[in-house]
Amino acid sequence: MIYINKSVIDSKLVKMALSSNIDYKIVDDASEIVDKKSNIYLDDRKDNYIRICPGTKIYRCCSYHNIDIMQGCPFDCSYCILQAYLDHNMIKVSTDIDSIVEHIRSFQGNIRLGSGELSDSLALDNIIPFTKIIVPVVNELDNIQFEFKTKSSNISNLLNLNPKNIIVSFSLNPESIVSKYESKTASVESRINAAVELSKYGYKIGFHFDPVIYVDNYKELYTELIGILTSKISEESIEFISISTFRAPSALLDAIKLRDKYTDLLNSDMIKSPDGKYRYYKSLRVDMLRTVYDSLRLEWKDVFIYFCMEHNTVWESVIGYDPGDRDKFELLFNNSFLA
Amino acid sequence: MNSSLKWINGSTTLSPIKFIAKVDNSLYDLNHFSREDFNKEVLELDSLELALNLSISLYSPISSLELSTIAQIIHDNSLDYNKVDIFSLRDIKSDRNFNTILGINNFPESIRKYLTLKTLPLKSIELITTFSTSLQEFLNGFFISNISTSYQKAKIFIDNMAIHKESLEGVKYVDGFEFDDRKISSHIEIENSLIAINSKVFPILISTDDNFESGKLKFSFYVDKGNSYDKFIDILDKNDKDIRTLIEFLKGYDLGL
C-alpha cells in the first residue's frame, strides 16, 4: 500500500506514482502507517541526500557516493544491513526531487554515484519511477556516472531512456543461496537476462558478487554461476565487477539471529575484524574471493574487478597489488566516460 | 561409392532406406555409411552443405566429437559452416567457435571419448584447445579414471587446470589427484600452531592482535632484571628454524605475512 503525506499530494513524484492507477491513502504522518516492508510512505523529508560511502582506513575503499532517495527495501534478504541500520521497516521515499536534482547538479569534479545503498535502486521503479527523473539529469552531466544497483529485473523504464553515463548493476549469488537468503528478489536467471537486455540497449553493466556467502560447496556453486554469466553476456558490456564476502557489524548479527535463531548464515568461521565488523576468517575469505576472482578471470581477462572493503594484504594475495587509499583506488575505475 | 561424408561415431539410423546424395556427379552416403545391405535412394542435391544437413537430420543426438568430425569434413572440402544448420543450433556462429570444435579431433583419446558421452560447454572445450600437449595428456589421464564424471565436475576440473596450468606442466595424472588448493581456514589448526611455538619460546609470546587481518605476527617480551635481552636472543636463535617454519605455514593460509 502507498501512503502519501498530505503535504506532498501535488508533488511531481506523487503525480508520476499515481499515474499508474495504484491504490493509495493520504495521511498526516508516518505514525498512521503499519511499519512493514510492503508499505511505502512518501513525504517531503529533507536530507543531505548524497554521502560518501562509509569506510575505514583499515580496509580498502573507493570514493563511491550514495544518494539516499529511498530508505527501505521491499526485498527481504537475511543478511541485509538495513535490518540493523534503519529504525523502520516501511519504505520511506522523499518527494523532494528538486533538491535531489540540485544536489546532483552541484557536484564539482568527477564522481560515481548510486542509489542502491539504503534501498534497491529498481525494485519499485514501476511505481516510483526515479529512473525517469535521474537518468535525464545525469545524461546532461559529464562529470557524473550514476549506478542503479538491483536484485530485481525491473528494467522497463530504463529501456525508454538514454543510457549515457548510466550503469545498471546486478547483485549475484548462486540460485540456491538466493532461494535461501534473498527472499522476494528476482531469480538469478532473470537478473542475468535483464543485464543482457540492457547491455544490448546500450547500458554499461556492473555485477556485484556481494556478499559471497559460505556454504560447503561454494566453489562449485560460484564457479557454475560464473560459467553461466560469462556465457550469456560479453565482457565488453561490463564496466566493473565487485566481490566481497559476507560481513556484519554485531548489531546485524543480533538482527539475523532474531529473525531466525537457527540460521546457518552464521555457521562458519567468523572473527571480529579491527573495524568492528565480523568477517570470515581471513584464510577462508581469501579462498572464497580467489574462487570468484579466478573463475571470472578465466573468461574475462580485462574487466575491472575490485574488492569492496578488503584489507590490502587480501588484495595482494588474490590479485597481486594494493589499490591504495580512497583517492588512488578511485583512479582504478574506468572514468574515460567523464570529461 | 564415395563415403567421405561419414561423420557418425558408430551408431545408425532407424531408416530402412540408405540415402545417397548426388552432388556434382559424385555420390555420398548420407546414412548407413559403408553398408550396402539396404534399399537405396539417390537424391540429387545442389551442394555438400545440403547433403550434410540431410545426413545430420537422419541422426540424433549428435555428440561433440561427431560435430568435430562434421567440422573436419567442412574444413577438408572448403565448405561454409554457416550453411550447415547444426552449427548455428549449437551456437557456433564464429570462426573462433568453429575452430574450437575442429580442435576436438586432435584431443587425446579419452577426452574425445568423454565428448561422445557428455556435452561440455564450448568455453571448456576452448580452454582444452589452449592447453599444451602435456596438459591435454594430464586431462586425458583424468578422463581415463573418471570417464563417467558429470559435465559440471569435468568443467570445474578443466577450469582448475587452467588456473593451475603452470604447476601442472609435465605432471602425469594419478588416480585421486586433487588440486593444491590453498587450505581453507582451519582456525583451530592455526591457533594450535601458535600454542606449539609459544611452548618452545616462552616467555616470548608469539601472537596476533587481530586474527591476522593486518597480516602481522607479533613477538612480545619484556626485558628486566630477571630476563636479559641476551636471553631472548638466545631463545629466538635456538628456535629460528621452527619460527621460520611457522611463518611459512601461516603464509600457506594466506594470512598476509
Backbone phi, psi, residue A51, to 5° = -135, 150
C-alpha cell at A251: 548489531
Q: Are B254 and A298 a contacting pair at CB < 8 A? A: no
What's residue B58's pLDDT? 81
- Domain stop point among B101, B126, B141: B101
Query: CA dihedral in degrees (A315, A321, A326, A332; nearest 10)?
Result: -110
What's residue B26's pLDDT? 84
> Does B54 share its domain with B84?
yes
For B3-60, write each residue's pLDDT tens digit: 567 777 765 666 777 788 888 888 888 877 766 777 778 888 888 899 889 888 888 7
- Domain stop point among B101, B116, B134: B101
What's residue A173's pLDDT? 98
Give the CATH architecture of domain A2-330.
Alpha-Beta Horseshoe (3.80)
How far apart are the CA of A300 and the nearest CA of chain B, in angstroms? Answer: 12
Closest alpha carbon within chain B to A268: B185
How big is the A-B interface in CB pairs under 8 Å? Answer: 84
Give percent above pLDDT 70 in chain A. 98
Any domain includes B3: no
Give percent above pLDDT 90 in chain A. 81
Closest alpha carbon within chain B to A270: B187
What DSSP string runs through A203-247?
A: -EEEEEEEEE---TTHHHHHHHHHHHHHHHS-GGGEEEEEEEE-E
> Does B205 share its domain with B248?
yes
Any domain includes B174: no
Q: What is the mean pLDDT of chain B?
A: 87
Spell out which residues of chain B touch residue A294, defining contact as CB-CB under 8 Å. Answer: 163
Q: Which of B4, B26, B149 is nearest to B75 (CA)?
A: B4
What's residue A335's pLDDT? 56
pLDDT surpasses 50 at A296: yes
Q: How many domains does chain B have?
A: 3
Q: Residue A121: exposed, middle, or buried by beta-carbon count in 10 A (0-12, 13-18, 19+)?
A: buried
> Does B114 share its domain with B96?
no
pLDDT surpasses 70 at B215: yes
Which domain covers residue B139, as residue numbers?
107-168
Any domain includes B177: no
Spell out which residues of chain B touch residue A298, defining contact as CB-CB under 8 Å. Answer: 127, 159, 162-163
Mean pLDDT of B200-215: 94
Q: Which helix (H) or strand (E) holds A314?
A: helix A312-318
Which residues of chain B approach chain A closer than 8 Å at the C-beta?
121-123, 127, 152, 155-156, 159, 162-163, 181-187, 190, 210-215, 253-256
Instruction: Give the separation between CA B257 and CA B255, rounded to whole angstroms.
Output: 6
pLDDT surpasses 90 at A261: no
Any domain includes B179: no
- Kindly give, in sequence order, each residue whose CB lies less than 8 Å from that of residue A69, ignoring residues fewer than 6 positions away: A49, A93, A94, A100, A115, A119, A130
Mean pLDDT of A63-88: 94
Instruction: Give the separation between CA A200 and CA A196, rounded to whole angstroms.
Output: 6
Give A28-33 contacts, CB < 8 A, sequence gap 24+. A29/A5, A30/A3, A30/A88, A30/A90, A30/A92, A32/A3, A33/A3, A33/A90
How far apart are the CA of A235 and the nearest CA of chain B, in angstroms? Answer: 14
pLDDT surpasses 80 at B1: no
Look up residue A187 and give its amino acid: S
Of residues A269, A279, A317, nearest to B254 (C-beta):
A317
What's residue A337's pLDDT? 47
What's residue B184's pLDDT? 53
Confidence at A185, pLDDT banded by 50, 70, 90: very high
pTM to 2 decimal places: 0.75
Q: Are B185 and A269 a contacting pair at CB < 8 A? A: yes
Any domain includes B93: yes
How far apart are the CA of A329 and the nearest CA of chain B, in angstroms? Answer: 19
What's residue A218's pLDDT? 92
For B133-156, write each residue's pLDDT tens digit: 999 999 999 999 999 998 878 988
Query: From the candidates B193, B254, B257, which should be mutated to test the interface with A, based on the most A CB atoms within 10 A?
Result: B254
Closest alpha carbon within chain A to B130: A298
> Does B118 share its domain with B96?
no
- Domain stop point among B141, B168, B195: B168
Give percent above pLDDT 70 in chain B. 92
